[in-house]
Amino acid sequence: MNKRINQPARPGGKLLGLAFNADDGQKRITRGPNFFLVGGSQETHGVMQETAIKINEHLDRKGKQMADVSIQELRHIVEDIHHG
């Protein structure tokens, strides 16, 4: 018998990116499979997009979902992306 039937569904993890440095009047919103990004200047929003995409690529290579990684592991992934 499948154990998952009796177990509650595990909530999915999402990355939320917020930035407040837009001074051009534009409202920037980007949604992806594991992320939701809001605000920022064109440059800042672009950095958030690139980071979120690279995090998803990293998770895909490892066969993991956002909900599968700890906050500490997510920090290591982001450090690798920006310093690797």
Q: What whole-number distance in Å separates Cα of residue 5 and Cα of residue 50?
A: 37
Looking at residue 8, its pLDDT comes to: 45
Tell me the domain boundaries of the chain: 13-83
Question: Per-residue pLDDT tens for 47-80?
Answer: 999 999 999 999 999 999 999 999 999 999 999 9
Residues 6+ apart with CB under 8 A from 58: 77, 80, 81
Question: Per-residue pLDDT tens for 22-44?
Answer: 999 999 999 998 899 999 999 99
